[in-house]
A and B are shown apart, each in its own frame.
Chain A
Amino acid sequence: MERNKLLRDLRSSAIIAAWFSVLLFPLLVMKVSVTGGQALVRFRWERLPAIAVAAFVLSFAWRRALEWNEARGDKPSGSGPIAALTVKARSALALRPIRLTATLVLLAVAAAYPFALGMYHTNIMITALIYVILALGLNLVVGLGGLLNLGYAAFFAVGAYTYGLLWKYAGPAFVSAGLDPGWLFWIALPTAGVLAAIFGALLSLPVLRLRGDYLAIITLAFGEIVRMVLQNSGEVTGGATGISLIPRPWFFGLRLPPRQAATYIYYIAVALVALTVFVVRRIEDSRVGRALEAMREDEIACEAMGVDLVRNKLITFSLGAFWAGIAGVLLAAQTTYINPDSFTLWESITVLMAVVIGGTGSIPGAIGGALLLKLLPEYFRPLAQYRMLIYGIAMILVIIFKPDGLLPRNRKKYTFDGSPSAVGAPVAAGDQEARR
């Protein structure tokens, strides 16, 4: 029986290998080049056996994986060694002293990072931290509110351009008044957040009636329009060339050398990430957060229960956009140069991927996903050209085999433990596990 199945599998894998050899033949084996209006084709026969073998092996593995996935069904993820470890970690973190120590250790590592590893790694880390903020912000919209936003880069652009334009137009006045232009960073930071939030609210007004795919597409359209406007209004925004020489943030009037400046921005980024995590966590546990979660699960039931959907969607979009605005200012300060190319649709999709791969709705997931997506490519430079290909594959694998992401969100459970005073008090899953 087992042998028959194996033979059958091998045979269908062979068929699939043949299928893919034919399917990919024109694109992978033949290579076209056009000279003088004439298309010339070169053959790369050496690739053909590679395609066949790869298709054979992968199709075999794929079928086994799908079977395993099917057999696993909707079993709670509470089995397996990794899940057990997470549960242990969670119940440990529920204890106050352990949590405190863990936080302190984390902060110490974060503080020592630029000194231990130098400027190159610090700069990479800053970029990654900017993405962490973006992912946390998008996580509010996608994970908590369940509204798929494919135009998130637009808010990122609003933030970056707030700082850029502030520098371009108010900068000279600042300098001539004898003030340090670095102050502009601190003015831009809250302004950009608020402006992006206003943009978010404006966007959410027309899309209130839409849901699901339509919402995704309309946000995509919005993102592209913002980018095109930035690109085409050259006299205001600098068009495709963008804005350059944006000042570094103010630091007690000192002109920091690049190395120290990077360290300084790194610390600002760490502080902002900490602030974001704090605020996002509070939102999650607040009345608004629970309303958002209810909205994600079922809009109609939610409305019937008296939750104001219009208000909630407005809040979701503005909150998400706020953090993108902040991240945008940070980006402008780090690179000192911005142009519309930094805010394409693929940027939005990369952030979305960070959220999905990390675990939709999970704060550690968003952080982990963003760090993974931004740090790995930096340290696998030789694979740089395959980056988007690998991202695409990873996204599909995660969504099929681990739809909750790598660090899935911890669903809150409410239990009734008998004593009247405890009714309705939320119990963290960790506590509950410990009690069992």
Chain B
Amino acid sequence: MDFFLKLFLSGTAKGSIYALIALGYTMVYGIVQLINFAHGEVYMIGGFTALIVGGLLFSSGMAVPLVLALSIASAVVFSAAFGFTIEKLAYKPLRNKPRLSALISAIGISMILQNFVLLAQTEKYLSFPSYLPELEFLRPVREYLNSTQFIILVTTATIMVALTLTIKFTRMGKAMRATAQDKHMAQLVGVDINGVISLTFIIGSALAAVGGVLICSYMGQINYYIGFVAGIKAFVAAVLGGIGSIPGAVLGSFILGWTESLGTGYLSSDYEDAYAFVILILILILKPDGILGKNQKQKV
């Protein structure tokens, strides 16, 4: 039981990071029906930006909490800028083309970003210094839930609530929902489609950047390739919950996190990355629309 609880909690932490990335996938898919393959890369760039800015500030002798805040902020800003730029460069010219074109373009962007970071920085694994504080009140339960995990959980929960409220109650959120439902109709009633799509990419990328900083602090290392695997897993989580649905992405992420944790704990750790794929295949066979997804009727 003890072992189970530990696995369960580490799975929850993992799941909440997947959720941060999966939200970006699901929002983008909901609005432009595109699997944004480069999303994982944006998350990796967020991690790298935080490492670089954090390193620069730390060596200049700044206080740790300030370093943390500024490096997360710069990761968010730069990732969001990357997301925005990617959309303008590679997806916008293909908006009215067959959907597979945009998917192929997304694969291209993913390759470009990976190799860009590889060439501009390094191909080695870099250890990622953890600027996250050690929380005193967690000391008695540290074996089950360490500070990093706790911070991850709280951050994800906060962001999730904020995002849901934004989409439910603000003007921009309304515009996003309208665009997701029917792009042409939204345009007819005066919604700035391009603005909404850009904003979606910006929000998604910003969330990914937060996820990137958190997971790199959690794992303690970073590499140009981390975005790819995390991106695929987050995508699996999004599909699992029903792509296009925000609560679905969160639910799917937790299920994925738990499965991976319990699977590596009880079955075998060799196949850690395979569990996600097995779940994906099973879900797509049994319930292609995901757990909370709406059943999509084909129209002729």
Interface residues of A (CB under 8 A from B): 19-20, 22-23, 26-28, 30-34, 37-41, 62, 66, 69, 148, 206-207, 209-210, 212-214, 216-218, 220-222, 224-225, 228-229, 232, 300-301, 349, 352, 356, 385-386, 388-389, 391-396, 399-400, 403
Contacts and interface: CB of A to CB of B under 8 A. Distances in A.
Contact of A210 (B74, B97, B232, B288): B288
Contacts of A40: 55, 59
B155 interface: no
Residue among A41, A389, A399 having the largest count of chain B Cβ atoms under 10 Å = A399
Contact of A399 (B34, B108, B112, B274): B108
A435 B80 CA distance: 56
Interface string B131-175: 000000000000000000000000000000000000000000000
A225 B278 contact: yes
B219 interface: no
Interface stretch (B9-17, B119-127, B202-210, B245-253): B119-127
Nearest to A223: B277
Contacts of B280: 217-218, 221
A216 B35 contact: yes
A400 B105 contact: yes
A34 B45 contact: no
Contacts of B281: 206, 218, 221-222, 225
A20 B84 CA distance: 12
Contact of B111 (A206, A213, A391, A399): A391
A137 B103 CA distance: 21
A209 B127 contact: no
Mostly, the A contact residues are helix
B294 interface: no
A39 B82 contact: no
Interface residues of B, number: 65
Contacts, number: 174
Interface stretch (B46-54, B177-185, B191-199, B256-264): B46-54
B104 A356 contact: yes
Contacts of B270: 228, 232
A148 B115 contact: no
6 contacts: A23-B78, A41-B59, A207-B284, A300-B298, A396-B90, A399-B108
B273 A23 contact: no
B286 to A, nearest CB: 10
B108 A393 contact: yes
Contact of B109 (A69, A218, A396): A396
A26 B53 contact: yes
B100 interface: yes
Interface centre among A23, A31, A34 (most CB of B within 10 A): A34
B252 to A, nearest CB: 14
A224 B129 contact: no
B239 A214 contact: yes
B54 A386 contact: no
Given A356-B104, A388-B115, A400-B105, A27 B49 contact: yes
B78 to A, nearest CB: 6
Nearest to A212: B99
Nearest to A356: B104
Contacts of A210: 284, 288
A153 to B, nearest CB: 14
A216 B232 CA distance: 12
Contact of A38 (B112, B129, B278, B300): B129
A395 B74 contact: no
Nearest to B104: A399
Contact of A400 (B93, B114, B121, B277): B93
B101 interface: yes
Nearest to A301: B300
B277 A23 contact: no
